[in-house]
Amino acid sequence: MQTFSRRGVIEALATLAAGAAAPRAMADGSTLGTIAQGVGVTFGSAAGGQIYTDTAYEKLFAETKLVASEWQFKMSSLQAQKGVYDFWNADQLVDYSARKGKTLKAHCLFWQANNPAWLTGLSTADLQYVFDKHIDTVVSRYAGKVQIWDVVNEPFWPADGQPGGFGAGPWFQAFGQDWVKRAFQRVAAVDAKARLYLNESQCDNNAAGLGVAIRPALLKLVGDLKHSGVPLAGVGLESHLDMGLPYDDAQFGAYCAQLSNLGVSIAISELDVRDFTLPDAIATRDKMIADRVQKFLTQALSTRAVDQVVTWGLSDKYSWLKGLWQTQRGTTFRQPRPLPYDDQMQKKPCWNAIAGALRSRPRA
Ligand code: G3I
């Protein structure tokens, strides 16, 4: 006869209470969302257009309590032409998240990269106008519909040689090092209720010029913003774990504690694994990926302020890394395996690794 752990029964009841069909849940009915909920963490994933076209993929999102917009709220989607707004894709995700009772994390208002081409060459004064107008137009439209804004994505890029390690780009050109503070202050003035997040990459690795340089720069910026009274609710640490870069997960865990001491919530905000340097053999690769994810998340979750884990997609089939692999390697003889589910929407060791790390966290 199958026995159930007490925790498993609680999580299964939480699933049933949430009315969520437990998709491919563990035998005891738990999902990553209910397991996370049990330890004070919100589990979510980035959603692209595939959730409307692939029902088998969309079913996986019943594991989540939060959806993040993979691209629908970026300026390149909302304002592909100067002054012409197209809200269709963003509205569709607002409707989806509301219908499914999920928290919506709109990613991202401003990024120095992947901007619409018409921004290039604008004067500083024009950029300042565009910046303010974009906030006023977009944030007012979604007030009450977007619960979390990634206000600024990836402000730092030391290789650009700008002061303070800031990335070059239109917004740094417009306002200098104060551009991040200005963004948060204006967004808060338009929507005082949404939780405002700052999102950054690379902090999970110990590569020179990447994590080693960006972590202290981000810590200083967060401290400055909080000391200035900026309504910064949380910091997202993307965590695209690159197995080809040096890392020290204990050091990352300590960094989460340092951020926590500044009074912010922390999100592991874009979790996946770049496996390009790992062996071809799928079983070997999957195990190496799962081991890394479990060790990394366990360290991160040892800080209570880490209360959000968001994977960057749920199935390898739609990972952004597939395109990057093809661009970098020019071949499809093997595909990246960065996420909890494979191309056939089957659970992988990575799913168990995330579940294991969550379960290892002392209960809330
Ligand atoms: O904009 C069109 C849209 O109009 C169209 O309806 C839709 C149809 O699928 O495609 C959209 O195009 C592409 C979009 O992905 C959806 O595929 C964009 O051209 C393309 O630039 C966009 O790429 C996204 C990329 O950020 C740039 O925004 C990736 O999906 C997304 O995974 C990636 O995510 C970034 C995070 O924002 C920041 N951290 C790194 C992470 C990975 O690069």
Query: How far apart are alpha carbons 255 and 273 in whole angstroms?
Result: 20
How high is the pLDDT of residue 130?
98
Blockwise average pLDDT, block size 10, the chain, 364 residues: 48 45 57 97 98 98 98 98 98 98 98 96 98 98 98 98 97 98 98 98 98 98 98 98 97 98 98 97 98 98 98 98 92 91 98 98 81
List pocket residues of ligand 1, CB cut-off 6 Å.
48-49, 70-71, 74, 76-77, 89, 107, 114, 153, 201, 238, 270, 320
Query: How far apart are alpha carbons 144 and 129 in whole angstroms?
Result: 25
Residue 27 phi/psi, 5-degree rounding, is -55, -30
Domains of the chain: 6-359 (3.20.20.80)
Which atom of ligand 1 is nearest the CA belonging to 201?
39
Tell whether omega for the bond before 350 is within 30 degrees of 0, i.e. cis.
Answer: no
Measured over the CA atoms of residue 36, residue 40, residue 45 and residue 47, the dihedral's sign is positive
How high is the pLDDT of residue 363?
78
pLDDT (tens digit per residue) in 102-135: 999 999 999 999 999 999 999 999 999 999 999 9
How high is the pLDDT of residue 26?
56
Q: Taking the model in full, what pTM does it have?
A: 0.93
Which residue has a Cα nearest atom 20 of ligand 1?
A: 71
How high is the pLDDT of residue 22?
39
State how beta strands 66-69 and 42-47 pair.
Answer: parallel
- By most ligand atoms within 8 Å of CB, the mutation choice from 50, 52, 71 for ligand 1 is 71
How high is the pLDDT of residue 332?
74
Ligand 1 centroid from CA 111, angstroms: 12
Which atom of ligand 1 is nearest the CA belonging to 153?
38
Ligand 1 centroid from CA 89, angstroms: 12
State how beta strands 265-274 and 148-153 pair.
Answer: unpaired
Closest CA to 244 of 302, 352, 329: 329
Q: Which two tokens stand for residue 249?
A: 């997960």
Ligand 1 centroid from CA 15, angstroms: 31
Which residue has a Cα nearest atom 34 of ligand 1?
A: 70
pLDDT (tens digit per residue) in 309-333: 999 999 999 999 999 999 998 877 8
Query: How far apart are alpha carbons 255 and 299 in whole angstroms?
Result: 10
Which residue has a Cα nearest atom 13 of ligand 1?
A: 71
Which residue has a Cα nearest atom 24 of ligand 1?
A: 71
Closest CA to 197 of 176, 177, 183, 211: 183
Which H/E stretch holds residue 270? strand 265-274
Measured over the CA atoms of residue 261, residue 262, residue 265 and residue 266, the dihedral's sign is negative
Ligand 1 centroid from CA 309, angstroms: 20
